[in-house]
Amino acid sequence: MTRKTITEKELQTFMKSVGKVLKKPATFYLTGGATAILFGFRAGTIDIDITGDMNELFSHIPKLKEQLNINIELAKPTDFVPNLPDEAKRHILIDTFGKAKFLHFDPYSQAFSKIVRAHTTDITDVKSLVDKNLVDLKKLYKMVKGISDKDFAKYPRLTRPAVENAVKSFMNN
């Protein structure tokens, strides 16, 4: 079934709906297209990428998807790239709706995963994160260089040289 494109209106409706269905306080992190929409980089996205305190929300996701006619994906940057140092300190508050607190997942982690993935939309999003002063590329590169070999080993499809070169190449363009 084709779902509608998610705009800021649909995102707001989704966050409010989550806040209404929760019985206990929970924190959620939005990433990808949702972050781009809420910061004004894009008008729409095909799905809402979310992570966080999902236990209570799991049972509500199918109903929310049908009710709002949207796609919801359980995803975060660190599903694809290693954690960056102090990631938790860089999440950005969006708002609280009922018992649901929403934050943008760390913009540096988002930029890192988008640079590594290198889709056209991702590269445009990273440029927007930089333009909005949400990411400093020199700081990002330093963080990437500081990732331990042990942490890189958890992502067998990635190699340190390729990842560092991707970030460095992006910095130089």
pLDDT in tens, 117-135: 999 999 999 999 999 999 9
Sheet holding 26-31, edge to edge: 72-74, 48-52, 26-31, 100-104, 92-97
Structure confidence by residue, pLDDT tens digits, 17-70:
999 999 999 999 999 999 999 999 999 999 999 999 999 899 999 999 999 999
Q: What is the pTM of this model?
A: 0.94
Confidence of residue 99 (pLDDT cuts 50, 70, 90): very high
- The ranges assigned to domains in the chain are 8-171
Residue 173: predicted pLDDT = 81
pLDDT tens column, 148-169: 999 999 999 999 999 999 999 9
User: What is the three-state SS of 77-103?
Assistant: HHHCCCCCCCHHHHCEEEEEECCEEEE
Cα–Cα dist 73/50, whole Å: 6
